[in-house]
Chains A and B, each alone.
Chain A
Amino acid sequence: MADTHSDTGVSPVIVVGPRARRPCHDHGRDARVTQGGMPGSRRSRHLPVSRILLAYAAAFALVSCNNDKIEVYLIPKQGVTVAMQSGSAGLQPPPPSNPAKWVKPEGWNEQPLSEMRLGSFKVDGPNATSGDVSVTAFPGDAGGLAPNVNRWRSQLQLPALAEDQLQQSIQRIEVGGVPTYLVDIQTPENAPKPARILGAVLDTSDRVWFVKMTGSPDLIESQREKFLDFVKSFRFTAVTDGQAPETGSSNKPKSTNDK
């Protein structure tokens, strides 16, 4: 036997016979008919609609209020607790973005800094050539001395050297008590575009600083003394918080959902 009536819950067995069961909503139509076909019922759809629209308008106003307000609030200075090891994120004058000071040599032009470059200079040389000086720093040991020097070597199309061979070409000095390694690399003899790199790697307690000057061999030669003076002028402020420089929030960080 089949069900002949149910409104929303229906058994899978369908009707028997030609007259399909009437869904319950038809009662509405029947009701209209028995009440003498009141015409108002068709128009009754409009009445609630306008009320609904009113409700929307109110909600709309509510929503648009939210996002445009000026907010005023208090925050404690020094971040939340003073007991924290590291410096706070509260609104003091911004922490120095690089806890190192240096003396800029004469004739070196300051360039815009970036998240990568804590110091950036352009040096004008003869014949409209120019040299570029960059100061960068990385936490920890930044991968080690040899890989970084070899990286510079590869930039000049030089082959990488093994650790012990490198040791022979690196000069070790001290700058403000910090062990510093100097390198001087030049492109090979027959290179189409001769270039030379003077590099200094300063190994402080919490990070490694890279000072690198790139340019034509002549320019570098003329600036060699200034470069050395610059490197020797580095002084590191006591950094107890172990903070890397504030890098801003708009790098392209990688998502943990990436392939």
Chain B
Amino acid sequence: MTSELARWLKPITSLKLTIFCLACAMVLVFVGTLDQVHIGVFEAENRYFKSFFLFFTPPHTDLRIPWFPGGYIVGSLLLVNLIAAHIARFRLSWKKAGILLLHSGLILLLVGQLFADLFVDLESQMRLDQGQTKNYSESLYYDELAVIDTTDPDSDRVISIPDSRLHHGSKIDLPVDALQVVVNEYYSNSALISQDQLPSPNYPHLRVGPMAVAVQLEKTYKENERNLPSAGVSIFQNGQLIGTWSLAAGFPRPVSFQVGGKGYQIVLRPKRFYKPFAVQLLQFRHDRYAGTDVAKNFSSRIRLLDPAKHEDRESLIFMNNPLRYRGYTFYQAGFDNNDTTTVLQVAQNPSWLVPYISCGLIVVGMLLQFGMHLFSFVKRRVIA
């Protein structure tokens, strides 16, 4: 190793840096946990742990001033520090085996989690009424404005615009058919009420149904509540106005229109993730302890339909027993409608084995390290 490289690496290998990073991590975790009470688990996760910095916005401004490193910086600094320290002091010996294993397990864990965060699908849910079949799951937090080309009798082409692109006044050019979506109005959270419940006729609202209007609400961060946006959009083709509609994610009815000989639909709904297979709910069971309402077990008997792989089989999903299929994992997460509807959590994580492997390494490493200590300690005491 050249002395130049060694000079570079020296500060990064410092134990002080390790302790500093660990302390920063503790601050992040502590403050982030307290803030969860106000902004909910998901939002706190995004702000504190899946971010580069914590930002502070002075009142009456729109500035975002970073004042503390976020999870990504702390995590990657720790990673770099750990790897550099081992490179700088690379010494393969039995005495160090425990520490090496332990640290490599940690490295693997951090890298795996980072990979999962950056590149992998978000969590979604599949809600099935009894007997219902679906080949898609829906996001809990994100919505989409879907413009669907229904012309082809065999398939639909879905153009999904994420809700992050929808703001008052946005103009979105679609990559096909020279269509343009203009968002005239956008409520990031809304409630549906009947027209005569409006405080005054001029109160800002969107007419989303014959008698139903949507009014704007504050975004909610409560755990069991979901933000339901509404939007007023206009579709243009080649500059010509095709139509203007009001859409509500809380009442997602696709609106059909024709233009240029093609049929389309437009709908505002929770973001969908389509799968190449379908799941049907045969039966949901909510077993209770005798004479109480306390749940003993929840289970969903489902049917897995995958014509491409010639699969048509039943499976039972219950607590602590998910279904793993084609890279997706289905968990029993919730239920509704008097125990006739099941809610399955869907996760897609190709690196799901990584935590198991790294945990194995960490455990073995720790046992080795502390085991050696204990052994020598006891030996000494016995001699003394």
Chain A residues within 8 Å of B, Cβ to Cβ: 7-9, 11-13, 23-25, 28, 40-41, 44-45, 47-48, 52, 56, 59-60, 62-63, 66-77, 79-81, 83-91, 93-94, 110-114, 138-140, 241-244, 247-256
Q: Is there an interface contact between A247 and B341, defined as CB atoms closer than 8 Å?
A: yes
CA distance A62 to B117 in the complex (A): 12
B134 within 8 A of A: yes
Does the CB pair B156–A250 fall under 8 Å? no
Take A70-B159, A256-B298 as given contacts and tell me if A242 and B131 are in contact as well, using a CB distance cutoff of 8 Å.
Answer: yes
Across the interface, do B89 and A24 meet the contact criterion of CB distance under 8 Å?
yes
> Can you name 11 A-B residue pairings with CB atoms under 8 Å?
A56-B52, A56-B73, A56-B76, A68-B164, A91-B148, A94-B253, A113-B212, A138-B338, A242-B130, A250-B226, A253-B343
Nearest residue, chain B, Cβ from A1: B380
In the bound complex, CA of A195 to CA of B266 (Å) = 44
- Report the Cα distance A126→B148, complex, angstroms: 48
Contact indicator A251/B254 (Cβ below 8 Å): no
Complex Cα–Cα for A79 and B277 (A): 9
In the complex, B319 has a CB within 8 A of chain A: yes
* CB-based contact A67/B132 at 8 Å: no
B14 to chain A, nearest CB (A): 6
Pairwise interchain contact A86-B211, C-beta atoms closer than 8 A: no
| B335 contacts A by Cβ under 8 Å | yes
Main SS at interface, chain B: mixed
Determine if A48 and B8 form an interchain contact, defined as CB atoms under 8 angstroms apart: yes
State whether B337 touches A251 (Cβ < 8 A).
yes
User: A9, B158: Cβ atoms under 8 Å?
Assistant: no
Instruction: Choose among B99, B176, B343 the residue that contacts A8 (Cβ–Cβ < 8 A).
Output: B99
Instruction: State whether B165 touches A68 (Cβ < 8 A).
Output: yes
* B residues neighboring A (CB under 8 Å): 7-15, 52, 72-73, 76-77, 80, 89, 95-96, 98-99, 118-119, 125, 127, 129-136, 138, 148, 150, 152-162, 164-165, 172, 174-176, 192-194, 209-212, 224-226, 228, 249-254, 256, 265, 270, 274, 276-278, 280, 295, 298, 305-307, 312, 319, 332-338, 340-341, 343, 369, 373, 376-377, 380
Residues of A near B175 (CB, < 8 A) are: 70, 72
**Does more than half of chain A's interface fall in helix, strand or loop, or is it mixed?**
loop
A23 to B13, CA, bound (A): 13
Q: Which residue of A lies closest to B294 (CB)?
A: A259
Give the distance in Å from the alpha carbon of A47 to the alpha carbon of B12 in the complex: 11
Known contacts A71-B160, A90-B135, A244-B340: A255-B155 contact under CB 8 Å? no
Given the known inter-chain contacts A79-B278, A86-B280, please indicate yes or no for A91 contacting B150, CB distance below 8 A. Answer: yes
Residues of chain A within 8 A of B125, CB atoms compared: 249
In the complex, which residues of chain A have a beta carbon less than 8 angstroms from the beta carbon of B138? 249
On whether A91 and B265 interact (CB within 8 A), knowing A243-B131, A254-B335, the answer reads yes
A89-B132, A89-B134 are known contacts; what are 6 more A-B pairs with Cβ within 8 Å? A12-B377, A44-B8, A66-B119, A74-B156, A80-B277, A253-B343
Q: Nearest-CB distance from B88 to chain A (Å)?
A: 9
Please list the 10 inter-chain residue pairs (A to B) with the smallest Cβ-Cβ separation, ordered nearest first.
A253-B336, A112-B212, A45-B11, A80-B278, A89-B134, A91-B156, A253-B334, A242-B131, A112-B211, A81-B307
Given contacts A70-B165, A77-B153, A256-B333, contact A139 B130 (CB under 8 A): yes
Which one of A9, A44, A89, A241 lies within 8 Å of B10 (CB-CB)? A44
Question: Given A68-B165, A70-B160, A91-B150, does the pair A255, B89 have CB atoms closer than 8 Å?
Answer: no
* Known contacts A91-B148, A241-B131; is-contact A9 B376 (Cβ 8 Å): no
CB-CB under 8 A from B224, the residues of chain A are 252, 255
Nearest opposing residue in chain A for B335, CB measure: A254
Q: Inside 8 A of A242's CB, which chain B residues have their CB?
A: 130-131
Q: Which of A40, A77, A248 contacts B155 (CB 8 A)?
A: A77
Complex Cα spacing A28 to B12, Å = 12
- The minimal Cβ–Cβ distance linking B256 to chain A, given in whole angstroms, is 7
CA distance A66 to B119 in the complex (A): 8
Does the CB pair B337–A77 fall under 8 Å? no
Q: Smallest CB–CB gap between A231 and chain B, Å?
A: 23
Nearest chain A residue, comparing its CB with the CB of B126: A249
Does the CB pair B133–A89 fall under 8 Å? yes
Question: CB distance A89 to B210 under 8 Å?
Answer: no
Determine the chain B residues whose CB is within 8 A of the CB of A112 once the complex forms: 192-194, 209-212
Most A CB contacts (10 A, CB to CB) among B129, B176, B210 go to: B129
**Chain A residue with Cβ nearest B332:** A256
Residues of B within 8 A of A111 (CB): 194, 211
From the candidates B129, B152, B155, B225, name the one contacting A247 in the complex (CB within 8 A). B129
